[in-house]
Amino acid sequence: MTTNSKQPLLRLEAVSKRFGATQALNSVQFELRTGEVHALMGENGAGKSTLMKILAGNIQRDGGRILLNGQEVEIRSPRDARSLGIAIIHQELNTVPAMTVAENLSLGHEPRTRFGMLDRRRALADARSKLARIGAHIDPRRSLGSLSVGMQQMVEIARAVSEDARVLVLDEPTAALSRGEAQQLYEIIRQMRSAGVGLIYISHRMEEVWQLADRVTVFRDGTFVGTGEMDRITPQDVVRMMVGRSVADLYNHSARTPGKIVLDVAGLAGGAIGPVNFNVRAGEVVSMAGLIGSGRTEVGRLVFGADRRSAGTVRIAGRESRPSDPFEAIADGIAMVPENRKEQGLFLDHSVENNIAISSLDHFTTAGVVRRGEAQKAALEQMKRLRLRLNALELPVKALSGGNQQKAALARWLLRDSEVLILDEPTRGVDIGAKREIYELIDELARAGKAILVISSDLPEAIGISDRILVMREGRIVHELPSAGASEEEVMLHATGASSKPENEGARQ
Amino acid sequence: MNPEKTSDTALRSDMLEKEPFDFAKWWDRVGILVVLLALVALMAIIAPNFARVDNFLNIARAISVNAILAAGLTLVILTAGIDLSVGSIVAVSGVVSVLAAMAGIPAPVAVIAGMAAGALCGVVNGALTAYLALAPFIVTLGTMTFLRGLAYTMTAGQPIVASDLNFKALGNGYLAGVPVPVIVMLVVYVAVWFLLERTRYGRHVYAVGGNAEAAQLAGVRVKRVVTSVYVIAGACAGLAGVIFAARVISAQPTAGTGYELDAIAAVVLGGTSLAGGRGRIVGTLIGSVILGVLSTGLILMNVPFFTQLLIKGIVIIVAVAIDSLKQRQFIFSRIFKR
């Protein structure tokens, strides 16, 4: 590995990819050397997964070139990727939990005896040597499902290595790992690096990137921002590269004067979350920022009674709210627009009217019978307010665009007129026009005295539309700051944990 | 000028302008009815004695038990569930009501006892499905077997004939020239139609079937709704069992064997999706009638029983295939629009 730095192992030149109206990758470059850990960073939607899918052969690039060892290559299928020695370790693992580790490792090329029967003994021996190669101490006879996620991941890495992967892409591999497991994974990564494998490491965690990587490349909005050597760059630099886009005055909101505390959360915990303490006042918009997996959605669900609480109290305008399901939370005056509107929010086959009216039917019911005219009129009123096409009333909601679907999801809770609104990613997958309208609506609701908690991965949005920001990391609120004057860098530093590191501390020696 | 009014008329003209004739939508609403009418016309031409009033009444009476089962089952299938035990419930409730009547209990109470037995079976099905989160297919497969065993046990495996059964009019009587089971069937359908189309409960049933997670987050108490549909299906099966017992004036431990499959066929023929959330109770009634017309017509034409099964099987598969193609068409049109 002497001339490695001269001849890159993998090189991407001007690679582009477009999905419909979205330019997911715009002429990006990337270079990976032999025996290098190269971190790839960027906010959600920066184009990291698109790049990964292109390398995996799951999707095809529209333009540009991919060179492996200086040779131009085409990756038309996952099979091509494998034969070129490119392996991807996805966040969702690609293994069969019901089978043993050894069976998983020999999947597709099981050794056979002379009589065509499965050669279990050899499969077991092979598995042992594959696991030993990456230094993982796992009994290959165990069923894969009985292992922790971390160990399952190691089995998958062992498989990739056994297939002589020269390029290994790891997509947030430590997201589901305990600290100890992560350390073990780092060890394996270092071993593979010294064995000459090139590793692309996608992660949001500054700390581990500085621990592991040799270089870092940052993407933003589908474009290449820059590549830097780890020891010449600080976490603050990377954050600036990640977020430094110009922010239009999309988020202007009226001056608001928050009133009394409406939502008061103390010591709330459940699952891996908490305890968290926070409050939202009447007429106030509070944003909850943090990385994916930091527990923001879970906090919303705990307040809304969708998940079981293990501790803590929630008060709505002074009255304690202990919902055992969302039905009771709604009765207490809480509303939640869930993160994933298609899977959790909407009834795609059902009419827009039904989708809007479903949570307020008790207002339009006499002895169990729905007063249909009134329910319809009420739904129409909300559609008018949100500038939804009125003739969509009877259409199935799946016939609407993403932005209009989100408006229908919001309309349901506008009709309910709850005191507390939890909006989880209210503008995800929504076009800019609908975004602006949703921001105006949030502002209008706040002025009408509602207490609004917005969970958002879109930093400019989280800062721009709110009065205060709560930053979450690893299930807890680690920082709170006023939105006025807050910078994306500052929020990102707390969200990634980079703020707890003095500058340059993590640079490799 | 009334502002309300203008917006309303604007809405109307908007709808008229922007909605050209949509075959898929039209077929969705009346397609199955067209199939029924075509089938009736065909039978009237080729089957001797088919197009007679008394024959139609016979068909109606013959389908009433299956149609009542299918009505209850429609609710279950709308929530994306399934109930295989309804056929066995027919036997158990028949036995319960006959035994009650033989013990000297007045007819209305004996009938209600049979229905209550069915509803109780539904409580077990529903609670196991909703609260233990077991797959309804397996739960009701188990109760189907168990309840059949229960019916045999209660009757010691022999039919119990009760020639002076006090509620036998329920199976054999006429009211204004119409067989009583047909009247009961129509009452059941009107009731279920009202429940599904006009009440909050009905909207909750559709919501649970359309997307259970979204329903929960929208404030629908999903577990209660799921339990309740099995109770309603059980009560309907109970009623069907009582009618069946009244019709044959005895308690038959083998009553209703295989009826669950005919009921499922009627529901699916009627356009209700096994995936839940889509379907109409009127469709189920038409589906039941189609199956009834088909069997009667084939019998009148002297088609052998074995061949009848072949034809019925093909009809069911073709009907489901049409439904599935319709769905795919929708997806295609979405893709091309983009």
The pLDDT of residue A182 is: 81
**Tens digit of each residue's pLDDT (9 = 90 or more) over A17-60:** 987 667 789 999 999 999 999 999 987 668 888 899 899 998 99
CB B197 within 8 A of CB B86: no
- Enumerate the domain spans of chain A: 10-243, 249-500
- Residue A343 makes CB contacts below 8 A (sequence gap 6+) with B211, B213, B214
**Residue B228: CB atoms within 10 Å:** 20
Candidate from A250-259, B286-295, B298-307 with smallest mean pLDDT: A250-259
Q: Which of A351, A352, A358 to mutate to test the interface with B (most CBs of B within 10 A)?
A: A358
Task: Determine whether the interchain pair A391/B7 forms a contact, defined as Cβ–Cβ distance below 8 Å.
Answer: no
Under the banding of pLDDT at 50, 70 and 90, the label for residue B80 is very high
pLDDT at B69: 97
Which are the contacts of B197, defined by CB distance < 8 A and separation ≥ 6? B281
Report, at the CATH architecture level, how domain A249-500 is classified. 3-Layer(aba) Sandwich (3.40)
User: What pLDDT is recorded for position B326?
Assistant: 65
Q: Give the model's confidence band at B13: pLDDT under 50 very low, under 70 low, under 90 confident, else very high.
A: very low
Mean pLDDT of chain B: 88
Reported as a single tens digit per residue, the pLDDT across A232-267 is 988 888 878 887 654 455 677 778 888 999 999 999
Q: Do A359 and B203 touch (CB under 8 A)?
A: no
Report the range of poorest mean pLDDT among A151-155, A403-407, B300-304. Answer: A151-155
Q: Which two three-digit tokens encode residue A68?
A: 């492996």
What are the structure tokens assigned to A46, written together?
């920066």
**Residue A445 to residue A467: CA distance in whole angstroms:** 14
CB atoms within 10 A of CB A111: 14
The rounded distance, in Å, linking the Cα atoms of A245 and A241 is 9
Q: Per-residue confidence at B28, pLDDT binned at 50, 70, 90?
A: low
| Smallest Cα distance from A453 to chain B, Å | 17
User: Which architecture, in CATH terms, is A10-243?
Assistant: 3-Layer(aba) Sandwich (3.40)
Average pLDDT (A74-90) is: 89
B chain contacts of residue A327, beta-carbon cutoff 8 Å = 219-221
Burial class (CB in 10 A: 0-12, 13-18, 19+), B108: exposed
- pLDDT value for A2: 41
Residue by residue, DSSP assigns A188-199 as HHHHHHHTT-EE
Tokens of A390: 């009125």
Tens-place pLDDT, residues A133-172: 877 788 999 988 888 877 888 888 888 878 888 999 998 8
For residue B264, which of B224, B293, B233, B306 has the smallest C-alpha distance? Answer: B233
Cα Rg, chain A, nearest whole Å: 26
Residue B274 tokens read as 């096994």
Domain A249-500 in the same topology as domain A10-243? yes
Given a contact cutoff of 8 angstroms between Cβ atoms, the answer to whether A48 and A202 are in contact is yes
pLDDT tens profile A456-493 = 988 888 999 999 999 999 999 999 999 988 888 899 88
Q: Is residue A62's pLDDT more than 60? A: yes
Q: What is the ipTM of this complex?
A: 0.83
Report the residue of chain B nearest A336, measured CA to CA: B217
**B206 with A354: Cβ contact below 8 A:** yes
From CA B244, how far away is CA B230, in angstroms rounded?
Answer: 20
Interatomic CA distance for residues A176 and A193, integer angstroms = 22
Q: What's the mean pLDDT when you consider all of chain A?
A: 87
DSSP A502: P
More confident residue, B42 or B234: B234
Dihedral through CA A310, CA A311, CA A316, CA A319, nearest 10?
110
Residue in B15, B210, B217 nearest the CB of A349: B210
Cα three-residue angle A30-A43-A247, rounded to 5 degrees = 110
pLDDT band at residue B92 under the 50/70/90 scheme:
very high
Best mutation target among A361, A412, A416, A422 (most B Cβ atoms within 10 Å) is A361
Reduce the DSSP state of residue A88 to 3 states and report it.
strand
How many angstroms separate the CA atoms of B275 and B261, rounded? Answer: 17
Tell me how long chain A is.
509
CATH 1.10.3470, applies to B63-300+307-317:
yes
